[in-house]
Amino acid sequence: MLTETKVKIRKEIDGKSIKCTANFLTDSETLVDALATVINHLNVMQSSHIIEDADIISCRHSQIKEVVTQFEGDKSYVATLKDTWIDEVGDEKTMRYKVLLYAADLTECNQRVQELSREGYDMKVESLTEVEMEYLLNDDTDNGD
């Protein structure tokens, strides 16, 4: 299950203390596991002096259903794929499926999403949105205990 955690962080940039929001996506069994992964990651960031301070604002189950890791890039995007069909009663039904993926820019992201939609999803691309989100694997923050 994918979980989104929003964190207010304070870091020093060019001698100034800047406050910003960071979003983390984890694949965890429970919200407690997700929080533990994020807290471990924040502790590593603080001990490496990447950030000065952090406060967790929220932790919730994500609407993102999958993280596509086969692509690489500097920017993260959420693609909303849409599938429409007619049920046995004759009513039109729609399902939306959100996917997180990485690309260098929006054009490259669009190409990758089109490729995904043809290869296995058989869905239409409804939207692409650039997001600031870091995907944390649970073992990425292992501190050797």
Instruction: Please check whether residues 53 and 81 belong to one and the same domain.
Output: no
Instruction: Please check whether residues 48 and 82 belong to one and the same domain.
Output: no
Q: What's the pTM?
A: 0.82
CATH of the domain at 46: 3.10.20
Instruction: Please check whether residues 117 and 88 belong to one and the same domain.
Output: yes
Instruction: Please check whether residues 55 and 69 belong to one and the same domain.
Output: no
Q: How many CA atoms lie within 13 A of 22 on its CB side?
A: 22
With a cut of 90, say whether residue 20 has pLDDT above it: yes
Please count the other Cβ atoms lying within 10 Å of the Cβ belonging to residue 9: 18
Tokens read off for 60: 């919730």
With a cut of 90, say whether residue 39 has pLDDT above it: yes
**Arithmetic mean of pLDDT, 13-40:** 92
**pLDDT band with cut points at 50, 70 and 90 for residue 120:** low
Can you tell me the distance from the alpha carbon of 62 to that of 77, in angstroms, rounded to the nearest whole number? Answer: 14
Please count the other Cβ atoms lying within 10 Å of the Cβ belonging to residue 75: 15
Q: How many domains does the chain have?
A: 2
**Arithmetic mean of pLDDT, 92-106:** 91
In a domain, 21, yes or no: yes
**pLDDT band with cut points at 50, 70 and 90 for residue 143:** very low
Tokens read off for 134: 């870091």
**pLDDT band with cut points at 50, 70 and 90 for residue 145:** very low
Residue 120 belongs to domain spanning: 64-131
Please state which of the ranges 87-91, 108-112, 115-119 shows the lowest mean pLDDT.
115-119
